[in-house]
Structures are given as structure tokens and as C-alpha cells.
Structure 1
Amino acid sequence: MRRIRAAAAGAVTVSMLTAVTACGGGSSTGGGSNDSPKTLTYWASNQGASVEVDKKVLQPELDKFEKDTGIKVKVEVVPWSDLLNRILTATTSGQGPDVLNIGNTWSASLQATGALLPWDAKNFDKIGGKDRFVDSALGSTGAEGKDPAAVPLYSMAYALYYNKQMFKDAGISKPPTTWDEFVADGKKLSKGGKWGAAFEGSNPAENIHHSYIFAKQHGADFFTADGKPDFTNDGAVAGVKQFVDLMAKDKVVAPGNAEYAQNQSVSDFAKGKTGMLLWQSASSNLESQGMKADAFGIAPVPVQSGTPGTGTNVNSMVAGINLAVFKDTHNLDGATKFVKFMTSDAEQKVLNKAYSSIPPVKAAQSDPAFNTPATAVLKDTLAKSGVALPQVADESQFETAVGTAIKNLFADAAAGKPVTTASVKAALEKAQTQMPTK
């Protein structure tokens, strides 16, 4: 999901997530559904450098759809900071859109509300079949064993972006492949008011994405095999501590990053304030902020061993955006046609080029734009070394509780307070008490 870009959600209440008032359609007040078969409402997630950028990307495509079908799409680009709460409110109030983007990490949580249209074989057939989509993308569309709650729209992976000139000036010949190398390079870059890397300590979802990967690299998960929270196991604690230590102990991240939220780390990197960035499919975002494509390099996110792959060598969550339909839309036929249009081979090429993401539709990946050295890193990561975040009903609460706990640990680091194994475990223990009890 991001970002990614990635989902940065506010507090998610248990009552909202467990409510099964599946009433997505409703009046048009607040952006709700419309009885007209010639109109659709669509909530798009903020994928570009700004809401305005997204409108420029999307409107020509929506105009194409209207010309082809006679159906006008009223789009609202919703910032990530608001999107999850807006969706959850819509599931209980009936004041929702017909079609909406969701961060793929939320799929199982939103599926549990009962508000989204299940994509069974019959519905998939209406858009060309389930086998058109890449398996890794389908793995983040809902709980295992259930019909998907959404359809993959954009696929993304985390990569390491590095400033070529800053690396050259610091005497660094190649991007780091291990975290030890990352820290060593970060210290060389952290001079003269510039820093080795940037993070968004106030962005709970970004915190989750990074710490989840660190935990996986320590052989751990935040949930047991039967879906129960397990936030305080040794590997999870070690992973979170290693992540926060990039600021607290290693000092390759500026203390001010503890207050950074959406896109601020990307902006710092684009402006040459930091030498490295860990981000989802960032090329178009960086270029839209004035950074030339040949000024930065792209490499896999480091792992403990230096060789990305399966098992403990995973280096990205399977990031992405899914397209969902509210089950009670008053224009199901039009909504289905819109999903078919957005996931068509032609539109997949247009939209994923615009956002530097990877098409989750197999046929669209053959386009030369998705076979450059830069996109090869992302495709390879998705195919070989990316894992889906837990597809459990309580995933959204997990993002909020643990993401906020890490936000507070970053605040401690910025204030000069010690971040210890004990303090990390205590923060995660508190987060676990905030999870729903079955």
C-alpha cells in the first residue's frame, strides 16, 4: 500500500472494523453512490507527489472511460492520512463511493467488515479472469481461503534509492547490500548538515512496513500461524530495535525525522539532503520533485546476509494498491465495467508508467517501460524476495498499534532517551494489549 504512498492510517476503532453493516451504497452526500447508471463515484489513493499530480494522471483516463461507456466518473483523491478512516466510516454509514482504492495490506481487515464486493470466479470472469493477475499481487487481496475482497491495481516494492553524486563524493563505490554496510555508508554521508538516510517516524504505516521486514529478516513475525498477535517475540523485538537504532544508535538518520510524515523523506532525498531512501517505487515521485532520473541509482533493500531472497532474506513487503467495489453500490454494472477498464492491459501500462509501479496484470508487464534496470529491481523483488503483510482481520489495528509504538520510540530516540531491548519490548507489549480480544 503504501504510499505507499503507503497507508498511513489514523486510529482504527474495533467497533468500526468488526461492524458488518455492509452498506457501501448511499446518497451522494459526502461522495456516496449514485442511482444514475451513467455516474460513478471513485475514491483514488494519493499515489503521486501530490493530490494535484494524481488528478492530472487520472482525469484523461476517466475521460476515456466516459467516452467508451457513457459513464462519468467523479473522482476524489484521498490523502493516505485520511483514507482508511474514510473507508471505515463509509462501511458503517452507507456514505461511500461506488469504487475505491485500498492499500493492499488492508484487504483482509476490510474484507471482514462485509462491505466489499467479493471477487468470486463469476465476477473475475467479467473482467477477463483471475489468471490475468500475478500470483504475488493476488496474495494481498484478502484472507486465505476466501474470495478476494479487491482486485490488484498497482504493484510496488521497496527499493534502496541512492544519490550517485553524494556516494561519489563520500568515496562509496557501490550501494550497500547488508545493514552493516548501510550504516557504514550512512555515517560517511552524514556530514555537513546532510544525512545518510531519511525515514518518516510519524508515519505508522511506513514504520510497520520497515519493521515487518526487519522482523522477517530476524526469522520472526508479528502474528502466530493461527493469526494471534505475537508482538513481543525475540525476533520482532530485535527487528524493531534495529530499525529504530538507525536513528537512536547508528545516527545515520536525523532526529527531526521522528516528526516526518507522508512524503517528507522523499522530498529530502530529492533535494539532496540525504544520500539514501528506502521507498516504494519512488522514481516518478522523485522526478516530479525535480530530481533527474540519472541522478539516483536503485538497488535492492539490504538484508542481514547481503543476498536478497526467500526466508530471512526477504527485503520488501508486497506493496501495492487494490481496487474494490462497495457491495451495495447502486451501479454494480458500471462499477464492474470501471474495474475492467482500470485493469485492462492498455490502462495498466498507462497508469503504472505514470506511478513507476509494476502492473499486477501479467500481459502489461511485457511493455519495455517495465523492463528497464530500475524496474527490474522492483520486479525481481516482488517475484523472489517480497512477502505479504499478514492477511488477518486485525491487520489494520496492528498497523495502528505497532506503527504508533514505533513512532513513540523514534520520539524517544530524537529526544536522546535510550532505546533498549527492554523499552522496545515494553512498547510492543503495550501495543499488543490494544488489539481486539476474540
Structure 2
Amino acid sequence: MLPPASQFRAQQKRLDQFEALTGIKTTYSYVPYGQLLDKITTEAVGGSSEYDLFSFQDSWMASLVGYLNPLDASIAADKLDMGRYPEVFREACIVGGKTYGLPIRAHPQLLFYRKDLLGEVGAKVPASWSDMVATAGAIQNKSGISGVALDYVKGSGFQNLWLWFNCLWGHGSDLFDAAGQPRFNDAAGVAGTQAYVDVLLKDKVANPGSSQFNEYDMVNSMAQGKSAMIMVWWWTYSVLTGDRSRLKPEQVGFAPMVRFNGGKSPTLATLMPFGISKQSRHKAAAWEYLKWVSNPDLEVEIVCDKSDPQTSDIVATQTATYLNDKVNAVNHGLHRVALESLKGARILPKLTIWPEVASVLETTISEIVAVGKPVKPSLDDAAAQVARIARRSGRHRS
């Protein structure tokens, strides 16, 4: 069970290779991403053995470990080298010291920018958040095009939190402290949140629609020539340079995600591992499939194959693929830049209460921007709500 994606369609197109090697027949069943967690949970709680493997979001893992089969014994028996993955992807597959998935689909953050507009103002490619704001202002003043697009709206799968985490971590705060208490409303958290919303509210270099933009709207704003920069997952490159974009490929540049603290702050990465259902009746066959689908040669083959738009994709998870000369030649150097973004990257919190916590946080960010609520009281109120959620779950410690 997995969500629709060109990467998965490319794997599916090659399943006859796997069957020829092993005699194992595999069927892909696609579920829209927005329904995937509910579908996995329904199958798991109902005790169904219909699906042998799941693709799932890393932040869901804490709530799914009771339904996933640990892979450590199989990894050790087959001497599978987990060191071939960046550290952030390895860690994303582990809960409580056990590995519950293999990294198959992942997204680093990148900065996308208009090469021509940066050239017109003589600006270097931004490396820091403050550089990004200054460059956005210069472009906006000269061209009249919004300097950057952001996505502050709630109700889109917590998308307005991704850049907030960059700002939160970049200012030295975090979601919880060591005692399990919310800390995102401390001085550093307030400063980070203020930096996030000020791009629109104070600096006024963000596209005015950003208060109501989701991720798709933000990307489309740049693709339609209405914004000069966006900070988003790397899959966006194909949209910005595709047939529906008003931009020419030579206008689109990309760079490692901007950072704080002299380039030392973390970026955010997201991963969709493949894991084996604990209720599967074909665990051995499922493991054979996992070994095949995670094969480095298959990954390189897929990211280099541009023969079919329905299966063309850039997504990779293995360090050697990011550094592969052919991969970078075919994909305009995207993978080497993405690997730079992954240095020191972190993932979303692996919490059973994450959906509840995220719902509070996304509403808070949206209301600060759309309604003009002050940052500190808004974060204090959100922290009180999160503390109550944590207490009910038993996560909170005094």
C-alpha cells in the first residue's frame, strides 16, 4: 500500500524483473496520500493481512510500530549496509532502538530562485534566512515581482509548519524540552516564529497571497512568474521546469536550503520508509522485495530514466546516488546540492500525539498571520494546549 508517485510507478513498471529473479509476484495498491494513514490504521487495527508492506510518513511511525515488523534481524542476517543512507534517513526508520522500515522515498529542502531576477539586482544566491529576506526585497523593489512565496495557511497536512521548524531550530528552540514540557514558546521560539511571520507581516517581501497559500499554491506562484523564490522540497524542480510552468528551465536555479546561525542550523527532511506489516503472512517474501526495491542500481536506473513523464522522478535516498556523476549529469546537479541540504538535517518529531500537536501549531501559525495575533501570547496558548495533550497521552513528565 502506497501513495501515487512517479517513483513508485517506475518501480511498478519493473516488477517483472523482481518476479523473474525471485518468482514472487507483487501488486502495488495506491491510496491517496491524504487517506493513507487512515487506511493503514484501519487495516492494522482490523487485523487484516491483505497488505504485506506499507509506505508511511516518518512522523507516523511512533503510532504504527505496534503494527510493523522489526527489520533488524533481517538486516543483520543479509548484511544490509544501512550506512549507505544519510544519517537523518537511518534515524527516521528507528523507534525505541528498532528499525521498522527502509528509506525509499525522501525529500530534502531546497531554495529555488529565479536566476534572471537575481542577476538583475546583482545578488548572490542566499545562504542564510536574512540573505533571503534582503534578496527578496531587492528583487521586489526592482521588478515588482514578489520576492518570495510562503505557505502559512492551515488545513493542508501541517504544511505551514515545515519552514517554521527551520526558524524554530535555527533560533535554538524546539518542540519539547528534556522534561517533556513544551518549549516552543520560550524566548528563542518566539524569536524564531517572529522571523518566520515577519517575512510577510513586517518585511513585506512575501507574496501577499502567502497568508492563504498551501504548498501547491506557493509552488504555483513561482511557476506562474508571480514570486521570485520559494523554499520547499526538491520534487518541486520538475514542476517549475515542466510544461505547465511559465518559466524556462534556464530561469530556475536551486541551492541548499537557507540556514541560521552561520549555516549551522538544521534543515528539515521528510522520509517515507517501506515497512512490513506485522500481520503479513508473507514476511520472507516481503523482505526479498524490500531488498530488491532498495537496491542501489535500481535507484540510479530510475532517477536517470527520463523516457516516460509518468515514471520520471528525481527522488533518491542513498548517498552514492546523490554523488553519482551520471545521476547529476541527467538531473542538472540537483542531487549533489540536495546532499548539502541534508547535512545536519532533522526530521519531524516521532510522537504518537503528533497529529494533535501539529493541529494546534498549524492553527496558531495561521492565526498569527491571517488575524494578526501577537506571537508570544499565541505561542503561550498553544503551549498550554500541547501540554494538556501530552498529559493525557502520558508523554508529559514533571
Q: Tell whether the structures are fold-level matches, with TM greater than 0.5.
A: yes
> 2:360 — aligned with what?
401
1:358–1:378 Cα contact (<8 Å) kept: no
TM-score by length of 1: 0.76
Per-residue CA distance 1:355-380 (angstroms, 9 max, x = gap):
323433x4444521455643222112
Greater CA deviation, 89-98 or 159-168?
A: 89-98
Residue 368 (str. 1) matches residue 325 (str. 2)? yes
Whole-angstrom distance in 1 between the partners of 2:16 and 2:117? 43
Of 177, 186, 211, which aligns to 2:127? 177
- What pairs with 1:150-299 in structure 2 (closer than 5 Å)? 150-169=101-120, 171-190=121-140, 194-201=145-152, 202=154, 203-281=156-234, 282-288=236-242, 289-290=244-245, 291-299=247-255
Give me the whole-angstrom Cα distance separating, in 1, the residues matched to 2:350 and 2:232.
22
Corresponding residue SS for 1:263 = helix
What letter matches 1:337 in structure 2?
E
Deviations 1:205-231 (A, max 9, x none): 332221112111111111223545433
Cα gap change, 1:375 to 1:364, in 2 (>3 Å): closer
Match in the other structure for 1:61: 14
Equivalent position amino acid for 1:430 in 2:
Q
For 1:235, give the aligned amino acid: A
Q: Does 1:357 align with 2:315?
A: yes
Distance 2:21 2:211 in 1: 48
| Partner residue, 1:119 | 71
- Indicate if the aligned counterparts of 1:197 and 1:252 stay in contact, CA closer than 8 A: yes
Residue type of the partner of 1:149?
Answer: Y
Match of 2:54 among 100, 103, 109: 100
Cα distance in 1 between the residues matched to 2:163 and 2:384:
19
Runs of 4+, deviation exceeding 6 Å: none
Task: Compute the displacement of 1:277 (Å).
Answer: 1.0
The TM-score, its normalising length taken from structure 2, stands at 0.83
- Number of matched residues? 376
1:339 aligned counterpart, secondary structure = helix
Cα–Cα, structure 1 residues 299 and 54, in superposed 2: closer, same or farther, change >3 Å?
closer
Match of residue 307 from structure 2:
none
Match of 1:308 in 2: 263
Match in the other structure for 2:294: 343
Q: Percent identity?
A: 23
Task: Tell me, yes or no, if the aligned pair for 1:108 and 1:149 is still in contact at 8 Å.
Answer: no
Displacement of 1:399 in angstroms is 3.0
Whole-Å separation in 2 of the counterparts to 1:400 and 1:370: 38
Q: Identify which of 75, 83, 94 aligns with 2:28.
A: 75
Measured against aligned partners, the alpha-carbon deviations of 1:370-399 in whole angstroms (never above 9, x if no partner) come to 5564322211221x3312333444334433
2:368 is aligned with 1:423:
no
Residues 351 and 92 of structure 1: CA distance in aligned 2, closer, same or farther (over 3 Å): farther
Q: Secondary structure at the match of 1:157?
A: strand
| Counterpart amino acid of residue 46 in structure 2 | S
Answer yes or no: is the 8 Å Cα contact 1:204–1:402 preserved in 2. no
Residues 236 and 125 (structure 1), Cα distance of their counterparts in 2 relative to 1, 3 Å cut: farther
Alpha carbons of 1:284 and 1:76: their partners in 2 closer, same or farther (altered >3 Å)? farther
The answer for unaligned runs of 5 or more in structure 2 is 305-311
**RMSD, aligned CA:** 2.9
Q: Which runs of 5+ in 1 are unaligned?
A: 1-41, 48-52
- Please tell me whether the aligned partners of residues 117 and 325 of structure 1 are also in contact (alpha carbons under 8 angstroms): yes
Residues 1:99 and 1:408: Cα distance change in structure 2 (over 3 Å): farther
